[in-house]
Amino acid sequence: MDYNATTPVRPEVVEAMLPFYREHFGNPSSVHWAGRMVSGAVEKAREQVAKLINAAPAEIVFTSCGSEGDNLALKGTVEALKDKGNHIITTAVEHPAVLNTCEFLEKIGCEVTYLPVDAGGMIDLAQLEAAITEKTILISVMWGNNETGTIFPIEEIGAIARKYKVRFHTDAVQAVGKLPVDVQKAGVDLLVISGHKIGAPKGVGAMYVRRGARMVPLIHGGHQERNRRAGTHNVAGIVGLGLACELAGQGLEESAARIKALRDKLERGILENIPDVKLNGHPTQRLPNTLNVSFAYIEGESLLLNFDMKGVAASSGSACTSGSLEPSHVMGAMGVDVALAHSSTRFSLGPDSSEEDVDYILEILPPIVARLREMSPLYPGNK
């Protein structure tokens, strides 16, 4: 129940990667036969990634992860466009890879507008448009929120960005592989993908850079990736990412519908059988696999520990922030009461999720919640 944190590497992906750890071990930058053999595999993967999001292969840059891609998008744009302005617009609910990068950029002279969200985690497009100034060089809005699953109106944002000739970046780490993603329809200039969210290994990602979008590299060195990202290619990882993207595109809508049906069953079962539960996130504009709910009068960490003892993995927010004792910044931005924010729990399903998994959660969850509430001094029945 924590597929938004990571996914298992698909068996087909593992098999495709193995030869590049053994017999096909050449460096793709080498000009001899061993290098050529491997460079062909890298370029095939580039084509596979591009096809999934309707991009040109030359517009794909391989990275190590989503966080690197977001850093490259923001820092690379700020450096490349510093003669045009220094203003960035983003949202208050972005992943830390974007928010913390924006905070860094503020310290070196950038101005950042953090758009608020409503109770469903959605931005106001009129506020976005009103925030644009002559110095605005970048709009950065995630495609789907990692904690609540709220899906942002990317095509509408893209239209606004084009109207004002402002570069548009989206962190699509949670959307790619779960939703149809088309960079041409969306009008995005920069889009970030992470391999381990879609059945590829950890340590590999990709970034779409629209043709003509100038970027200053984050990593300087060799001439890899058309001088946009130096460093020896992670060939096996790249091959794995390419195949994972190809597989994700096969039956995408059918898979999303199956997972959404399971998610909806879980949601109904929780809301109908447990009192004092609040749904967090947009009621309809949500990733098909994601459910975030708050259980009043209990601590989310206590619930997760009880789940853990029952063999269930769930989350109290982003895996990148779950080590913090502070309530989720996403819940705070949505105006969720602090006590309810502390009890927020994210269930995120994946390709291997089953009806039996959902039934098991619905069997064990009500008694766990009831027991934890009996122990809570805040629960009305205990006063």
Q: Is residue 304 within 8 Å of 316, Cβ to Cβ?
A: yes
H-helix or E-strand spanning residue 79:
helix 66-80
Q: Is residue 207 within 8 Å of 61, Cβ to Cβ?
A: yes
Q: How far is CA 349 from the centre of its chain?
A: 14
Structure tokens at 318: 């982003």
Binding-site entries for [2Fe-2S] cluster: 320
Q: Is residue 180 within 8 Å of 53, Cβ to Cβ?
A: no
Instruction: Point out the catalytic residue in the list 102, 110, 245, 320.
Output: 320
Q: Is residue 76 within 8 Å of 98, Cβ to Cβ?
A: no
Residue ranges with strand state E in the chain:
60-63, 87-91, 111-115, 136-140, 167-171, 190-194, 205-209, 277-280, 290-295, 344-348
Residues 6+ apart with CB under 8 A from 360: 312
Binding-site entries for pyridoxal 5'-phosphate: 66-67, 146, 174, 194-196, 232
Binding-site entries: 66-67, 146, 174, 194-196, 232, 320
Whether residue 102 lies in the annotated active site: no
Using DSSP, how many helices (H) and how many strands (E) does the chain show? 14, 10
How far, in Å, CA of 136 to CA of 132, rounded?
6
Q: Which has the closest alpha carbon to 240: 196, 273, 284, 286?
A: 196
Which residues belong to the active site? Answer: 320
